[in-house]
Amino acid sequence: MSSKKEINEDLVNERRKCNFNIQEVTHIIDGGVENTLQRKKIEDVALNGGASLDDVPEECMNLRERYENALRKSCVYANILRNELLEITGIENFGTPVIRRTGDAFFKDISPFMLHLGMFVPTIMGQCTAEQQGIWLPKALDMQIIGAYAQTELGHGTFIRGLETTATYDPKTKEFILYSPTITSYKWWAGGLGRTANHCIVVAQLYTQGKCHGVHPFIVQIRDLDTHMPLPGIKVGEIGPRMGFNTADNGFLGFNHFRIPRMNMMMKNAQVLEDGTYVKVARHGKLTYGTMVFVRVTLVNEASFNLSKAVTIAVRYSAVRRQSELRPGSAEPQILDYPTQQHKLFICIATAHAFQLTANWLWHTFTVVQAEMRKGNIDTLPELHALSSCLKAVSTSDAAACIEQCRFACGGHGYMMSSNLPYLYSFVAATRTYEGDYTVLLLQTARYLVKAWEQAEAKKIVTPTVAYLNRCFDTNEKVAWTNSPEGIIKSFQAIAAGKISLCVKNIRQRIKTGMDYEDAWLMTTVQLVSAAEAHCRSMILDTYWNEMQRLTKTSSDNVKMVLYQLTTLYLVYWALEKSGDLLRYTSITEGDIDLLQKEYEDLLVKIRPNAVGLVDAFDLRDEILRSTLGSYDGRVYERLMEEVQKNPLNKVPVDPSFQKYLKPFMKSKI
Ligand SMILES: CCCCCCCCCCCCCCCCC/C=C/C(=O)SCCNC(=O)CCNC(=O)[C@H](O)C(C)(C)COP(=O)(O)OP(=O)(O)OC[C@H]1O[C@@H](n2cnc3c(N)ncnc32)[C@H](O)[C@@H]1OP(=O)(O)O
Ligand SMILES: Cc1cc2nc3c(=O)[nH]c(=O)nc-3n(C[C@H](O)[C@H](O)[C@H](O)COP(=O)(O)OP(=O)(O)OC[C@H]3O[C@@H](n4cnc5c(N)ncnc54)[C@H](O)[C@@H]3O)c2cc1C
């Protein structure tokens, strides 16, 4: 084994082969040179000390040690955040993806502070009046108080209207009384709640003057700020080991007639006056769900970021790993040379780009809608809800599948925790469920699509993201297939329109046979999910293609070329994946599909020499990747061996359990 800390020769050769300017692509991914510089500056400050503060790998610790260790590191990192990074980013950008990215250098699993920054602070910003923000925000940003977001209960997560925790107003004392009437009403899952938080946002059914007004958010102190003891009337704890998120101390919480001041109701969208009168302020009933929309928007970015890490690891490893022989006696090829390996990995690079550009576009849309809402215009909220729902669902689901594929691509070593791939997978797998389950969110988008279809049918002009419905209505025939990026996008829009149309037809048919609307809808939900997914795919393809065209207008020729190849690969991949739908809704023939397959295989060959350059362009520092398989220098085997030395099981040559169990067992006679 070489002890020299030099770069693996195969990776050196790969980088020599790369024919485009890597930095140019990094700037495109970051959204411009300025952003890259700012990101690097933040990373330099945050990771100044080399970041990983662990002597023993997180995965080798027991549950309690892991939590304590995560909390220790969170405090170190939070100090860097408030003392150094806040000055660089400004409060308005606190919690940006860049801050999130540097956090990954400190935690393989999740920081117990993540929900404080990811949901507690944003909810104060989005749901409190200016006066309330003045009270809570400085304390929360300075982390004098640490919060969680407790909405989900043991009995209900998806169906928010079904939550059972009550907040009953008592005008005599001007307080709300929080109560958990049943076992199923216990709050369950909130990150940071189990051991860390001393405050949390509680979503509860509001009762005043004898009437229930539905769910509303409240800010609640749950622990003593000095002793950290749960306050009387509060029952709080950790929910137990999970597939991932094991250092996020997800918690449970119950209330026994626990009183909070009236002003702890978050009153931006609705208020309870001193005498108990309920006043609705917001013009849209679902504005209390605002934090969820915000987090769904950010999760598209999360999907891209985590996937870029996984594919960087898998591509670098595939360049270093050699296995099998193509011809008798020939040298073992790099596994990256197998087209099947390229098929597993190149789509992951393209998907990370597609989601990054879509996330940027969605973030922009989100800020425009927010600005409109500040002016009192809420007309664009339903479209944002439909968009953020389906994009969150599809991006998290695809990213989880791609990360798992990256793990497959790394064979046995990909199964090691030290590869970081299992951590990445368990984190992203959770994003498919939390903040709205995949199916449930696609059904929300489907509601919007059915309405849009009815509007198009009535010859009304629909909103831009579904404008293709107006166009598809005029053509009753199958869309003519053309094999070009624009042709593929148009075909996907035709698939979406065809599926939505079929759903509407089937719902109407079912109503004709005597079903009520709810049952007809329910019986059509399998198709509705499929229609919403098709709509989402057409959106991602369209955004990826058009944004990449726009962003590479002034790029050098080779950058244009490699990014064109990658975008085309994505379009062709999805056309092949959905060839059944294309046959159904367009004039594509079997011969056309054969041509697509050939084009796809040719693209793998063209992209192959630039594969390592493409993942280098994600510009992920080793401290952030935290992988034995994916480091920039490709010293895979040395790192795996180094990791073995850190394993506490290897600290003594003979394990004490040998004397205790194994030896007596072997000596015992049957
Ligand atoms: C030192 C530390 C370093 C770390 C650094 C950290 C930095 C920050 C990192 C940021 C990363 C973020 C990570 C965050 C981790 C999060 C962990 C998880 C948290 C959670 O899961 S919180 C709980 C989330 N829960 C859900 O999402 C529940 C899902 N359910 C729903 O959203 C809804 O109930 C529903 C949509 C399923 C249905 O609701 P309901 O029944 O009330 O409504 P209807 O179906 O009847 O629909 C009525 C109409 O309302 C519309 N609607 C619904 N929702 C919305 C909405 N949100 N906005 C607008 N409109 C909405 C429907 O479409 C209906 O409209 P229609 O016109 O009648 O059709
Ligand atoms: C790691 C993690 C962290 C979390 N953090 C938090 C947190 O900080 N705060 C918080 O409040 N919550 C949190 N949650 C909870 C999370 O938001 C919920 O688990 C999620 O919204 C799904 O709800 P559920 O568990 O009730 O699933 P269920 O709704 O019970 O879903 C189970 C199945 O039923 C299906 N289903 C349910 N309703 C419908 C329907 N109407 N139509 C069709 N199918 C349906 C779903 O598709 C799914 O397949 C977290 C969850 C996880 C896993």
Place of tokens 């995949």: 438
Q: Show me where the domains of the chain are located.
A: 144-281, 288-323+333-462+472-625
- 20, amino acid identity: F
Note the pLDDT of residue 83: 85
Which atom from ligand 2 is nearest to the alpha carbon of 191? 8
Note the pLDDT of residue 657: 97
State in Å: Cα 387 to ligand 2 middle. Answer: 19
Q: Are 445 and 386 in contact (CB under 8 A)?
A: yes
* Residues in the annotated binding site for FAD: 152, 191
ipTM of the complex: 0.98
Q: DSSP readout, 93-125?
A: GTT-HHHHHHHTTT-SS--TTHHIIIIIHHHHH
pTM to 2 decimal places: 0.97
Report the C-alpha gap between 53 and 70 in whole angstroms: 10
Collapsed DSSP state (helix, strand, coil) of residue 509? helix
Pocket residues: Cβ below 6 A from ligand 1: 74, 77-78, 95, 99-100, 103, 111, 113-115, 117-119, 149, 151-152, 157-161, 191, 286, 289, 292-293, 295, 298, 381-382, 385, 434-436, 440, 444, 447
Note the pLDDT of residue 29: 96
- State the burial class of residue 505 (Cβ atoms within 10 Å of its Cβ: 0-12, 13-18, 19+): exposed
Which phi and psi angles does 474 have, rounded to 5°?
-75, -25
574: which DSSP letter?
Answer: H
Q: Check if CATH label 1.20.140.10 holds for domain 288-323+333-462+472-625.
A: yes
List Cβ<8 Å contacts ≥24 apart for 472-478. Answer: 472/497, 472/498, 472/501, 473/497, 478/585, 478/586, 478/587
Stretch (H or E) spanning 288: none
Ordered strands of the 187-190 beta sheet: 187-190, 251-255, 234-238
* Residues in the annotated binding site: 152, 191
Written out in words, the top-level CATH class of the domain with range 144-281 is: mainly beta
State in Å: Cα 159 to ligand 2 middle. Answer: 9
CB neighbour list of residue 353: distance below 8 Å, 6 or more residues apart:
29, 304, 544, 548, 563, 566, 567, 570
The 10 Å CB-count burial string (b at 16+, else e) for 437-453 is: ebbebbbbbbbbbbebb
Indicate the pairing of strand 234-238 with strand 199-208.
unpaired
State in Å: Cα 203 to ligand 2 middle. Answer: 15
Which atom from ligand 1 is nearest to the alpha carbon of 444? 63
Of residues 430, 420, 429, 408, the one with CA closest to residue 623: 420
Ligand 2 touching residue 433 (CB < 6 A): yes
Active site residue ranges: 435
Note the pLDDT of residue 48: 79
CB neighbour list of residue 620: distance below 8 Å, 6 or more residues apart:
308, 309, 312
List Cβ<8 Å contacts ≥24 apart for 564-569. Answer: 565/603, 565/606, 565/607, 566/346, 566/349, 566/350, 566/353, 566/607, 566/614, 567/350, 567/353, 567/485, 568/485, 568/599, 568/603, 569/346, 569/347, 569/350, 569/600, 569/603, 569/604, 569/607
The 10 Å CB-count burial string (b at 16+, else e) for 219-256 is: bbbbbeeeeeeeeeebebebbeeeebbbbbbbbbbbbe
Report the C-alpha gap between 559 and 644 in whole angstroms: 40
Place of tokens 């027991």: 62
Stretch (H or E) spanning 126: helix 121-127
Report the C-alpha gap between 548 and 204 in whole angstroms: 44
User: Residue with the nearest Cα to atom 12 of ligand 2?
Assistant: 152
Note the pLDDT of residue 477: 76
Helices 525-551, 557-577: inter-axial angle, 10-degree rounding: 170
Q: Residues in the chain with pLDDT < 70?
A: 1-5, 49-52, 91-97, 473-476, 670
Chain-centre distance of CA 112, in angstroms?
Answer: 17
Which atom from ligand 2 is nearest to the alpha carbon of 436? 21
Cα distances (Å, whole numbers) of residue 295 to 350, 491, 573: 24, 31, 29
Note the pLDDT of residue 92: 65
